[in-house]
Amino acid sequence: MPGAMQFLIDANLPRRFELWRGPAFIHVVDLDDTWTDSKIWSYAGERDMVIVSKDADFSDRIILAEPPPRVIHVRVGNMKIREFHGFIARTWPQAAALIESHKLVIIHQHTIECVA
């Protein structure tokens, strides 16, 4: 579907996750898992994508920049993979909706923060 949001999933997040499969999702490891943060940023920016990462460098960078790209920062600490999948499955619809009108969405274990 043209104009649909595209997500670039960073290498620090689970690749084998049903929620992040399909044409709206590209995993950095499928492109080149040796890319630097700057290369990931450029790739996503050129394609108007949303970077999804646990890496604070992307959320720090978007604070001083204008989209694209946009950033969803997953800040939930260590979780078992099954717990993480359940948590993201519950919070993803809200985060994905919020990123449409914000340049940064930060997912915490008990809250979601946004920066316009």
The pLDDT of residue 1 is: 37
The pLDDT of residue 2 is: 43
Residue labelled with tokens 């394609």 = 47
N- to C-terminal Cα separation, the chain:
25
The pLDDT of residue 3 is: 56
Q: What is the DSSP letter of 68?
A: S
Cα 75 to Cα 110: distance, rounded to the nearest angstrom: 10
In terms of residues, how long is the chain?
116
The one-digit pLDDT tens for each residue of the chain (116 residues) are: 345 899 999 999 988 888 999 999 999 999 998 999 999 999 999 999 999 999 999 999 999 999 999 999 999 988 899 999 999 999 999 999 999 999 999 999 999 999 99
CB 25 within 8 A of CB 5: no
Q: What is the DSSP letter of 113?
A: E
Cα 95 to Cα 17: distance, rounded to the nearest angstrom: 17
Q: Would you call 31 helix, strand, or coil by DSSP?
A: helix
